[in-house]
């Protein structure tokens, strides 16, 4: 057993190559065992075991800086950099994060979570290094999926220009979450199937001899190797043209080859790309067979790979409580995908757009039914929006499905390309609110604040699954920009006859009458608000509860009517409290001139929320039924 004796990379450096190979098996076993219990990004980590070992074997972190693109593949790095004893806390509340985090370890040179940032960050660090006269290596590890993101190309473009000493390791497994798409991916694939690669794959020694001397081009290497360029697709010519030295493609599971390559290139001080080829999910039968399904997993059975149904961590899933009816669809994403597929049957203009998240956003069924009407644009959220705007301006009805956290990448495109031109693009904003174990990089808490100040856009949030379906149909008939935000998690329907779900522009619905205060809840805050009101009723307090439905335009009749009647308004949203839905209500009341109304805004306060189970985090933010109950009681009793 070698792993247990390794605390830091120096311990690793004492091992022989043979021992490193045994270590890689041990690491795979540890990662599989831990993700089977804690969940996480299994397949991506199994693919980078040898790469991570080789990097730590040859380079000297933390002096040398490793930047993991997206960062979901950093578990092996964490195991080798002082966090082995904490590995059982991976993704657990209070434990180590599933992503690199500078506050967690000096070995995490840059925090990541959103894709395609590594080259830009590496370049910035390299620039700072040179300005300060320091000496170390900066190494970005980027997947072929993350390379489909425009930001990666902005980084490459600038790096080729600055000619900085940085190393970009391109980890090519031909997969994003699903199989990778796009012309760049096809280009990489051509390299892998080229004669050049086939020849060098067989002849490791020959390959190593061909590693460029400083400044030597791929063409020259190929010439040296073969005497002529005939018959070669020159691998990496594209990167060479951008000003990078290119090495590869090399087998990313061959420790000897990688360590030797890294040793050789340490002296090169120009932009360098090392193209390695790996197998996503390697070493665990089930993830090898289904790397997409094992990209991000919840707990699963080791022997069968079958997912273990954990007791839902979402308090609203508790079927024993009244008001709650489980749905046939298991998640809100599925409600969205199935509804869209049904609506598309009768409207050939409806098209679906995803930025590499077809499965996650529930669009698989749409893809099966309408393969020619779905567009996976790669990890390119900004492009997905402008592309949709283009389709909309010429008569189509695009629905672009993005996670709330990733829509942050596309705000300018939403402002300019969609809203300024008032185009009928529907934004299906999935994973809005607290998402859970993926933590602060993935919580979807800024979308309302980011979008609601944009003219022309309508913003809605459904109280339950049935309302989401109704809203989608409404949005597609609106003929203007429209966003629907809904949470991660199980789909349920609220069992309350008052909830009619007739969607009319700018109209919410009053669900409980009351005089002591009025709670105006948004989206999945409606159910806990109803439950909190039921608890307050037992204390003799009559609380009105409304389903706000619209963030924009607000239902001013409903809200101002309740303000006059009760004098106390509480707004609830699972988004940032500043600049969000509550702020909009406050602005409305302020503009109305109504006197003697107090407003309390419940939402996520001005800080980043850590990782942990959704229910625990919601409770900590005071957004579960008990938290809402306490806040409303306090508000009525003490005015705060
Ligand atoms: C901006 C952004 N959009 C979407 C995602 C979701 N996401 C996480 S990993 C991933 C695929 C990454 O593929 P690749 O870089 O090839 O890494 P692999 O998992 O295949 O090793 C996607 C789409 C993200 N993290 N960031």
For ligand 1, whether the C-beta of 115 sits within 6 Å is yes
What pLDDT is stored for residue 316 in this prediction? 41
For ligand 1, whether the C-beta of 47 sits within 6 Å is yes
Between the two ends of the chain, the Cα-to-Cα distance in Å is 59
Report the separation in Å between the CA atom of 8 and the middle of ligand 1, taken as the mean of its atom positions: 28
Decide if pLDDT at 631 tops 60.
Answer: yes
Beta bridge mates, 571: 520, 601
For ligand 1, whether the C-beta of 279 sits within 6 Å is no
Report the separation in Å between the CA atom of 113 and the middle of ligand 1, taken as the mean of its atom positions: 9
Helix (H, G, I), strand (E, B) or coil at 568: strand
What pLDDT is stored for residue 229 in this prediction? 45
Decide if pLDDT at 163 tops 90.
Answer: yes
pLDDT band of 202, cuts 50, 70, 90:
low
Decide if pLDDT at 34 tops 50.
Answer: yes
Ligand 1 test: best mutation among 379, 410, 429, most atoms within 8 Å of CB? 379
Residue-wise pLDDT tens digits, 210-233: 676 655 665 566 555 555 444 445
pLDDT band of 324, cuts 50, 70, 90:
confident
d(CA 320, CA 186): 51
pLDDT band of 327, cuts 50, 70, 90:
confident
Contact 364, 358 (CB under 8 A): yes
**What is the CATH code of the structural domain delimited by 3-289?**
3.40.50.970
Evaluate if pTM is beyond 0.75: yes
For ligand 1, whether the C-beta of 282 sits within 6 Å is no
Averaged pLDDT for residues 392-415: 98
Report the separation in Å between the CA atom of 69 and the middle of ligand 1, taken as the mean of its atom positions: 8
For ligand 1, whether the C-beta of 72 sits within 6 Å is yes
Contact 237, 252 (CB under 8 A): no
Neighbours of 199 (CB within 10 A): 15
Report the separation in Å between the CA atom of 177 and the middle of ligand 1, taken as the mean of its atom positions: 6
Helix residue ranges, H only, 477-568: 526-538, 556-566
Same topology for domains 3-289 and 315-640, yes or no? yes
d(CA 265, CA 285): 34
pLDDT band of 317, cuts 50, 70, 90:
very low
Report the separation in Å between the CA atom of 233 and the middle of ligand 1, taken as the mean of its atom positions: 28
CATH class belonging to 315-640: alpha beta
Residue nearest to atom 11 of ligand 1 (CA): 176
What pLDDT is stored for residue 5 in this prediction? 97
Decide if pLDDT at 549 tops 50.
Answer: yes
What are the sequence ranges of the domains in the chain?
A: 3-289, 315-640
Annotate 495-522 with b (16+ C-beta within 10 A) or e (fewer): ebeebebebeeeebbbbbebebbbbbbb
For ligand 1, whether the C-beta of 404 sits within 6 Å is no
Decide if pLDDT at 355 tops 70.
Answer: yes
Ligand 1 test: best mutation among 31, 42, 72, 146, most atoms within 8 Å of CB? 146
Categorise residue 280: left if φ over 0, alpha if ψ from -120 to 50, beta otherwise. beta
Report the separation in Å between the CA atom of 531 and the middle of ligand 1, taken as the mean of its atom positions: 38
For ligand 1, whether the C-beta of 151 sits within 6 Å is no
pLDDT band of 374, cuts 50, 70, 90:
very high
Decide if pLDDT at 15 tops 70.
Answer: yes
With a pLDDT cut of 90, the percent of the chain lying above it is 88
For 302, how many CA atoms within 13 A lie in the half-sphere containing its CB? 12
Decide if pLDDT at 181 tops 70.
Answer: yes
From the CA of 295, give the closest atom in ligand 1: 19
Report the separation in Å between the CA atom of 398 and the middle of ligand 1, taken as the mean of its atom positions: 23
For ligand 1, whether the C-beta of 173 sits within 6 Å is yes
Average pLDDT, the chain: 93
Residue-wise pLDDT tens digits, 559-574: 999 999 999 999 999 9
pLDDT band of 191, cuts 50, 70, 90:
confident
Residue-wise pLDDT tens digits, 432-463: 999 999 999 999 999 999 999 999 999 999 99
For ligand 1, whether the C-beta of 379 sits within 6 Å is yes
Annotate 266-293 with b (16+ C-beta within 10 A) or e (fewer): eebebbbbbbbbbbbbbbbebbeeebbb
Decide if pLDDT at 42 tops 90.
Answer: yes
The residues annotated with a catalytic role in the active site are 280, 381, 409
Residue nearest to atom 23 of ligand 1 (CA): 356
Q: Give phi and psi for 243, each to the nearest 5.
A: 100, 10
From the CA of 149, give the closest atom in ligand 1: 1
Decide if pLDDT at 49 tops 80.
Answer: yes
d(CA 15, CA 430): 46
d(CA 44, CA 595): 57
């Amino acid at each position: 057993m070698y792993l247990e004796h390794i605390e830091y990379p120096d311990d690793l450096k004492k091992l022989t190559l043979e021992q490193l190979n045994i270590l890689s098996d041990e690491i795979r076993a540890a990662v599989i065992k831990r993700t089977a219990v804690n969940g996480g990004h299994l397949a991506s980590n199994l693919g980078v075991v040898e790469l991570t070992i080789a990097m730590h074997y040859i380079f000297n972190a933390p002096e040398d800086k490793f930047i993991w693109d997206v960062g979901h593949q950093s578990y092996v790095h964490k195991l080798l950099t002082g966090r082995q004893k904490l590995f059982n806390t991976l993704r657990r509340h209070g434990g180590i994060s599933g992503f690199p985090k500078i506050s967690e370890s000096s070995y995490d040179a840059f925090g990541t979570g959103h894709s395609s940032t590594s080259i830009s960050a590496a370049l910035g660090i390299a620039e700072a290094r040179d300005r300060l006269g320091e000496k170390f290596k900066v190494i970005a590890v980027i997947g072929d999926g993350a390379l489909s993101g425009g930001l990666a190309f902005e980084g490459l473009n600038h790096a080729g220009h600055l000619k900085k000493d940085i190393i970009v390791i391109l980890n090519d497994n031909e997969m994003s979450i699903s199989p990778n798409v796009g012309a760049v991916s096809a280009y990489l694939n051509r390299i892998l199937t080229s004669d050049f690669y086939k020849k060098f794959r067989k002849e490791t020694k020959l390959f190593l001899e061909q590693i460029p001397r400083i400044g030597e081009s791929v063409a020259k290497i190929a010439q040296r190797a073969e005497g002529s360029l005939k018959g070669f697709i020159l691998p990496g010519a594209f990167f060479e043209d951008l000003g990078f030295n290119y090495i590869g493609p090399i087998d990313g599971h061959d420790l000897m080859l990688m360590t030797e390559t890294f040793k050789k290139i340490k002296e090169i001080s120009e932009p360098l790309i090392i193209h390695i080829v790996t197998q996503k999910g390697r070493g665990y039968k089930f993830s090898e067979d289904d790397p997409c399904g094992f990209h991000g997993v919840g707990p699963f059975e080791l022997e069968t790979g079958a997912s273990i149904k954990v007791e839902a961590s979402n308090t609203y899933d508790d079927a024993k409580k009244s008001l709650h009816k489980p749905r046939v669809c298991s998640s809100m994403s599925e409600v969205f995908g199935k509804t869209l597929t049904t609506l598309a049957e009768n409207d050939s203009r409806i098209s679906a757009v995803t930025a590499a998240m077809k499965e996650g956003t529930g669009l698989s069924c749409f893809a099966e039914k309408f393969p020619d009407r779905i567009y996976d644009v790669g990890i390119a959220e900004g492009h997905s929006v402008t592309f949709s705007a283009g389709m909309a301006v010429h008569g189509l009805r695009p629905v672009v499905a993005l996670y709330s956290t990733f829509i942050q990448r596309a705000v300018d495109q939403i402002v300019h390309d969609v809203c300024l031109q008032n185009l009928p693009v529907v934004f299906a904003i999935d994973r809005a609110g607290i998402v859970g174990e993926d933590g602060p990089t993935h919580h979807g808490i800024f979308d309302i604040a980011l979008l609601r100040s944009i003219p022309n856009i309508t913003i809605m949030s459904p109280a339950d699954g049935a309302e989401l379906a109704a809203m989608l149909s409404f949005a597609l008939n609106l003929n203007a920009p429209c966003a629907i935000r809904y949470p991660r998690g199980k789909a349920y329907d609220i069992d309350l006859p008052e909830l009619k779900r007739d969607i009319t522009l700018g109209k919410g619905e009053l669900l409980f009458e009351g005089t002591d205060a009025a709670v105006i809840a948004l989206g999945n805050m409606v159910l806990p608000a109803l439950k909190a009101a039921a608890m307050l009723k037992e204390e003799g307090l009559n609380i009105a509860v409304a389903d706000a439905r619209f963030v924009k335009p607000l239902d001013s009749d409903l809200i101002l009517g309740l303000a006059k009647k009760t004098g106390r308004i509480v707004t609830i949203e699972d988004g940032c409290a500043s600049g969000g839905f509550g702020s909009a209500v406050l602005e409305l009341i302020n503009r109305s001139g109504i006197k003697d109304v107090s407003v309390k805004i419940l939402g996520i306060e001005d800080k980043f929320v850590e990782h942990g189970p959704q229910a625990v985090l919601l409770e900590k933010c005071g957004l579960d039924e008990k938290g809402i109950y306490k806040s409303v009681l306090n508000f009525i009793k003490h005015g705060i």
